[in-house]
Amino acid sequence: MNSRSISSAHATTSNSSTQSFVGRLSVYFVLIGLLASGMIYLMMIYMLQWVEDEVSLNNLRDSAPFVIKQFQKGVPEPLVLPPNITAFYSSDFIPSHYGELQNYPLGFNGEINDDLSELFLYRSEFVLNGQMSQLYITMPAENIELSSAQWTGINTFVIGFTIGLILLFSYAIIKLFKRLIEPINQLSLQLGNSITPEAFSVSQSAAKEFGILTDSLNRYRQQNETLIKQEQAFARYASHELRTPLSIVLGSAKLLAQKPDEDFQLRQRERITRAAQDMQNTVEALLNIVKQEKSSHENSPRLLTEQEFTQTLETTVNQAKKLAIKISVEWHSSPTVQPNSAVIKMLLTNLVNNAINARCEQLPEGEKSWINIAVFDKEIIIEDNGQGLSDSEKGHQRSDSGGHGLGLTIIDTLCQRYNWQFTLASNQPRGCIATLVLPKLAV
C-alpha cells in the first residue's frame, strides 16, 4: 500500500486544532457577551430614564387635587409645593421662559423639552368662584433628574460590572472547555507519539466519559496485544504440527534410496502415506479456523462413533505406549458433533498430546503414568496424573514450552468456533482434568 492510499483512508477533517477551536469559541462567546451586555446596558439606561420621568409625572398628577383645594380656598397663585412644584390657574403668572403652556391640550401630562430648559407639565381645569379656570402644574426637570456626574457614575459602574461579568464568564467557559478539550489533546498526543506509552492516561480532572474512553483504549490495546501473541503462538504451533510429518517424509525418502529391500520400502511408503495424511488433516483443520465465514454452519451434526474415535487417536496412543504411558478409553455413549473428522482429530490429538507432554518424570515407586479418556453423549473428559497446572497455565494461558504446551491455543480457537466449552482443572493428588462440554445438537 503506497502513501497515497494510506492518506486517502484518513477521515476528512478541517485543518484547525482543538486549541484554535477553544480560542475561536472564546472569541465568539466574548462577542456574544458584549452584544448582550450592550443591549442590557441600553435597556437599563432607558428604564432608568423612563422610571425617572414616570415618578415625576405621577407626582404632578397626584398633587392636582390638593392644588385645586388650595386655590378654591383663596390661596394666591403661584402656589409653590415643596420641593419644586409650582401651580398656576392663569397664564399671566407663568414665567416667560416656560413658553406658551396654554397651547397644550387639557389632560396633558408629560415633559416639555426646548433649547433652554426641560419642564414637566400637568394641564387640567377646575371650577373657581363658579367659573371654569385653567390649571397648570409645573416642575423643572433639572431639579429632580440625575445630573451628568451621576449618570457618568452609573454608566461607569454598569460598564465595569458588565466587563467583570464577561471576564468571569469567559474564564469559566475556558476552564470548562479545557476540561473537555484537554483530555482529547492528551490522548491525541499519546496516540501520535512515535513511542507508544505503556498505558493511555488523562488528567484526573477530566470528565468521566474520557476516563471510560481511556479505559476502553487500554482494554482494546491489551486485547490486540493478546491476539497478536495468540497469532504468533498459533503460527509456531502450525509450523510444529507440519514439521513433524515433513521430517518423517524426508527421512523415509532418504531411507528408500538406501535399502532396496521390498519390505523395508513398503514400511517407509506406509510411513510417508501416514505422514502425508497427517499433514492433510492438519492443513484442513487450519483452513477451517482461518476461513472468513463461520465454519460452524457448514457441517451437519453427526454421531461420533467409537471406531472414528479410536482411529483418530491411534497414532497418539502408539506414541504414549512408547513413553510407557497407559491410555484407557471408557466409551459410554456416542456424542453428537458438528466439526469434520480433521478438526476432531486435531482437537482430540492436541488434548491427549498435552497430557502426554505433561507426564511426570518422577512418580512415586509403583505408580505409572496414565491417561484416562471418558466419552459421554454431552462431554469428553481426559484425565492424567502428570505435572498438573502451573501458574502460567491456569485460566487457559499456557506457555509454549513444556507442560500441556501450545496445543491449548488451537483448542480454545476450535471450541469457540463450534460453541464447545473447554475447562482445565487440577486433578488430585496430581495431574489435571480436561473437559469438553458439547452443545446440544439434533442429528
**pLDDT tens digits, 262-283:** 787 787 888 888 778 777 777 7
Specify the DSSP class assigned to residue 103: G
Is residue 335 domain-resident? yes
Q: Which residues contact 66 (CB under 8 A, 6 or more apart)?
A: 81
Q: Is 442 among the domain residues?
A: no
Separation between Cα atoms, residue 222 and residue 242, nearest integer Å: 30
pLDDT given for residue 332 in this prediction: 93
Is it the case that residue 25 has pLDDT exceeding 90? no
Phi, psi of 333 (to 5 degrees): -160, 165
Q: Is residue 10 part of a domain?
A: no
Say which CATH number the domain at 244 has. Answer: 1.10.287
Task: State how far the alpha carbon of 120 is from the alpha carbons of 77, 113, 143, 151, 416, in Å.
Answer: 18, 9, 11, 20, 95
Instruction: Identify the pLDDT of residue 189.
Output: 79
Instruction: Check whether 148 has a pLDDT greater than 80.
Output: no
Chosen domain end from 244, 264, 287: 287
Please give the pLDDT value at position 375: 93
What value does the mean pLDDT take over residues 355-362? 82
Together in a domain, 188 and 260:
no
Question: 380 pLDDT band (50/70/90 cuts)?
Answer: very high
Q: Which residue, of 200, 221, 242, is where some domain finishes?
A: 200
pLDDT tens digits along 210-262: 788 888 888 888 888 877 877 777 777 677 777 777 887 888 777 777 777 77
Does 331 map to a domain?
yes
Report the CATH number that the domain containing residue 420 is assigned in CATH: 3.30.565.10
Chain-centre distance for alpha carbon 219: 12
User: For residue 18, is pLDDT > 70?
Assistant: no
pLDDT of 436: 93
pLDDT tens track for 83-115: 788 888 887 788 877 777 888 888 888 888 776
Q: Do 156 and 125 sit in the same domain of this protein? A: yes
Model pLDDT, residue 372 = 93
**What DSSP element (H or E) covers 132?**
strand 131-140
- Kindly state whether residues 278 and 302 are assigned to the same domain: no
Band (pLDDT 50/70/90 cuts) for residue 2 is very low
Q: Are 414 and 396 in contact (CB under 8 A)?
A: no
Helix (H, G, I), strand (E, B) or coil at 359: coil
Write the pLDDT tens digit of every residue in 185-216.
778 778 777 777 778 888 777 777 878 888 88
Q: For the segment 161-177, what is each residue's pLDDT rounded down to a tens digit?
A: 888 877 887 788 777 77
Mark whether 71 and 170 lie in a shared domain: yes
User: Are 427 and 356 contained in the same domain?
Assistant: yes
Query: What is the CB neighbour count within 10 angstroms for residue 128?
Result: 16
Q: Which domain holds residue 36?
A: 15-200
Query: Is 154 among the domain residues?
Result: yes
The verdict on 325 and 428 lying in the same domain is yes
pTM higher than 0.85, yes or no? no
Query: Considering 252, 287, 322, which residue would you say is the last residue of a domain?
Result: 287
Closest C-alpha among 342, 349, 340 to residue 297: 340
Distance, in Å, from the CA atom of 122 to the CA atom of 119, rounded to the nearest integer, reads: 10
Predicted local distance difference test score (pLDDT) of residue 4: 44
Q: Is the pLDDT of residue 71 over 80?
A: yes
Report the C-alpha gap between 239 and 205 in whole angstroms: 50
Residue 7 lies in a domain: no
pLDDT at 160 over 60: yes
Is residue 3 domain-resident? Answer: no
Residues 214 and 170 in one domain: no
Mean pLDDT of the chain: 78
Same domain, 263 and 318: no
Same domain, 39 and 154: yes
- Whether a cis peptide bond, with omega within 30° of 0, leads into 260 is no
Does residue 84 belong to any structural domain of this protein? yes
Residue with cell 521390498: 262
Query: Nearest Cα to 61, choosing from 120, 128, 103?
Result: 120
Do residues 121 and 109 lie in contact, with contact meaning Cβ atoms separated by under 8 Å? yes
Q: Rounded to an integer, what distance in angstroms lies between the CA atom of residue 12 and that of residue 193?
A: 21
Q: Are 339 and 299 in contact (CB under 8 A)?
A: yes
Look at 206 and 304; give whichever has higher pLDDT: 304
List of residues 6+ apart from 70 with CB closer than 8 A: 79, 87
CA atoms within 13 A on the CB side of 430: 16
pLDDT of residue 437: 93
Are both 258 and 281 inside the same structural domain?
yes
Q: What distance in Å separates the CA atoms of residue 148 and residue 156, rounded to the nearest whole number?
A: 12
Residue identified by cell 387640567 is 124
Main-chain dihedrals φ then ψ at residue 431, nearest 5 degrees = 90, -165
- Please state the domain count of the chain: 3
In whole angstroms, give the CA distance from residue 403 to residue 414: 20
Q: Residue holding cell 471408557?
A: 330
Q: Are residues 165 and 73 part of one domain?
A: yes
Based on the fold, state whether residues 269 and 132 are members of the same structural domain.
no
